[in-house]
Every structure is written in structure tokens, then in C-alpha cells.
Amino acid sequence: MSTDDNGNNIIPSPIPRDSDASTDNPSPSSLAAVVPVPLTWPPDGQLSLDWIQHLISAFDWGSKNLPPSSFPSVFPVPVFDALVLTASKILHKEPNCLRIEAPDADSTVVVVGDLHGQLHDLLFLFQDAGFPSENRIFVFNGDYVDRGAWGLETFLLLLAWKVFMPHRVYLLRGNHESKYCTSTYGFEKEVLSKYGDKGKHVYRKCLGCFEGLPLASIIAERVYTAHGGLFRSIAVTPSKRTKGKKNRRINLVPEAKALCLGSLEELSKARRSVLDPPWEGQNLIPGDVLWSDPSMKPGLSPNKERGIGLLWGPDCTEEFLKKFKLKLIIRSHEGPDAREKRPGLAGMDEGYTIDHDVESGKLITVFSAPDYPQFQATEERYNNKGAYVVLKPPDFDSPEFHSFEAITPRPKVNAYYDFVDVIDSDEDLDLASMVPDL
């Protein structure tokens, strides 16, 4: 590895410079030819496109040439701290349900599903769809980490984009952005392996950032997106006032009644800052939004397979779309392993499915991790494609689907979890080990 005049290591760019790349609408092919490492935080705290391009080159090169324990030589802890702190401040100020409006008539919105630490497939997605820009908005539906070997790089790259373009890049929370999932499916061990004695500090900071991720978005008043999907109403009624003159409290207790869909107002008031969304108590909406699944059976019912969240039928999709004057629901959450256990629903071979086609619109599942999961216990792989959705003006409700194959070969790396014995698709959760935060 060569060095620059200041003694910094220089790594080659993974993608050659494209001299014809537009500065207004750049792509990953416009990466610089050489990148100094370790990366440093800008003195003024303002990220630039060049900084993000350097980050991409450094992460890509490091994943192919360095052992995990050398990660701090590329991305030191002080740089990590600065990025996560800056991003967390932005994320925690955002509402539970983002309202995303296109800035002009030429704008498009790209909706991305699960990524699961498959860094190189994310880099291809950016190459294929184009980088975020003034007229290209990205909405990510969560599940950035776990199972894949580069969850940390994937999450940090997206945080960098969020800091650089906070009103063009939107990061929603997935069910894997939680303490329970990351301790089971590899992300915690990945962080400890990459940052060594600073790993616990880095992991805690990531968990704090996860708590700030919004739950859902509404795009152009037409499209609702979330990781899992729909959610229940949590009706509460005041109990009798306790005796006392001052500072007396009114205790709210949940009404015992049949399940019904919740409102956007209820979603806006849910408490999302929890390490693990609860499966019982009054704060059930975050768990529903992150863990629920569609069904072909009408009605709304508990999601017994997952042990948290709901199952909702086509009638519920119609009710939700009609009530809130929407045309599309775009959710993620189910890869090929989950879908093979869901009779009546299409497989994830192409990276997307249209699950409900009702009078008011459609329910779509999009999954952006091709050849998933990265580590499989059997020789026969799913070989699914990944996909992303493009929404275009004027109405943003006629989705264009873009499927893509996995980048091969992947760099050789060991898994950070026991992929042989661990359950395949988040089913049969050990609820007792999830952090209670009711």
C-alpha cells in the first residue's frame, strides 16, 4: 500500500473515474482514483460528495483486502463517533411518519427494501439507480444490518448520505435495528470483531441511533412505506381520578376490544425510542409497523408465526388505502426464506411481489438483498434477485420495478452468527430475551 505526502495510506479506487459523470447527478463510477486512509472527519463537520465517494472506496477496498480487526485503520472510532452523533441528531428530530414531497416536477423517488449487510449489492444499486441527488430521493425501508458480513459498513454509508443530504435520503427502521435481532443475527458480533476493545462502545452508539430511526413515510400523499406494514389502533380510556388536590394523574388503560387498524395520528404519537419494540402493553404500534406481514386471509389477527405484530388481509389494505386516500403500500421484511413458508403469497425470486391488488390500489413487498441470505447452510441457494422501486411524477403511484442480480464473487469472510442452527426468518422469537420496554 502506498502513502501520500502526509504519511496516510493510499488505496486504489474500486471503480475507475468516469470523466463524463454529471456533477449534478453523479454515480459511483465518478469515484476518485486514490483514497487516503484512515478517513478523517471534516474540520467544519460538513460532509461532501467527495467524502462519501472516499468512504465508498475505502469500505469496498477494506472488505476485500483487510481482516475485520483492521477496520479502525480505515474508519477510526473518532470518525465513527462524529458521524453517528451528527446523524442521530437529525434522525431523532424527525417524526414517526415522514411526509416526503417531491421538490420539483422532474423528481423521482427510489424505495429500497432489506439490505442485510450486503454492501457490494448496495453499491451496485447506487450504480444502477444513481446516487441521491437534488431530484432523486431515496427512501430505505430498514433492515440494514444482520446476516450479511458488512452491516456496519452498510449502515455507516447510509448515515453518511443522511448527513450529507438529509432532505433527499430517508432511513426508516426495520425489525433488525433492535437489540434482540442484532445480538442473534450477527451485527453485535460483527461490531465487536471490527472494533475490538472499543466494540461495546460502538455497538451502544449504533443501538442509540437505531432508536431514532422513523417508522414510516408517506410519499407525495400517495404512497405509504414501512418495513413491516400496517398497525393496530390502541384505544385508551381514562380511569377514575385518584384522590388528591394537586398533580393528580389520570391513568390511561387500553380498551379491551377487537383488533382494528390504527390511524396515522396514532402512529405519530407512538413511542419509537425503544431498544426492542414491545410485543405486549400499550406501546404496540412500533412492533406492528416493524414486524407485521400481509396475508391472503381477510381480517386483522395476531402474527402467531413471528410472535409479534399482525397479519392483515386484502380488506385491511383496501380500508387503509381508502381511509387515507393513498394508492400504494410499499413494505419489505420478507425475503425468499420467509416467503417459501407463506402459502398463497408469491415468492421473492424477482425481489418484489404484488401481494394485494384491491380497488383503491396495491400492496407491494420489495426486498433489495439478492442471493439472500449471504450465508446458507445448504448447497442449494435461493438465488433470488434484489429489487428497488422507482416512483415518478406526476402522481408517484405507478411503480417501476428494477430487479438485479447479486454481485459475485463476494469477498471471502466468515459469518458473525451461527447460520446453521439459527432460525431462518425471524420466526418463533425468544420473546423473553427481548428487552422489555413497555
Helices 49-65 and 119-129, axial angle in degrees (round to 10)? 140
Residue type, 361: G
Judged by phi (left if over 0) then psi (alpha if -120 to 50, else beta), residue 213 lies in beta
Residue type, 432: A
Catalytic residue ranges: 176
Strand arrangement, sheet containing 400-404? 169-171, 136-140, 108-112, 386-391, 400-404
Cβ-based neighbours of 319, under 8 Å, separated by 6 or more = 261
Cα distances (Å, whole numbers) of residue 215 to 218, 245, 409: 11, 39, 34
For residue 422, which phi and psi values (nearest 5 degrees)?
Answer: -70, 150
Of 86, 81, 74, nearest to 46 by C-alpha is 86
C-alpha cell of 9?
A: 495510506
Of 383, 311, 396, nearest to 139 by C-alpha is 396
d(CA 236, CA 72): 49
C-alpha cell of 199?
A: 466494540
C-alpha cell of 68?
A: 475485520
294 contacts 365 by C-beta, under 8 angstroms: yes
- The pairing of strands 386-391 and 361-366 is unpaired
Tell how many helices (H) and how many strands (E) occur in the chain.
Answer: 11, 19
Of 173, 172, 150, 128, nearest to 74 by C-alpha is 150
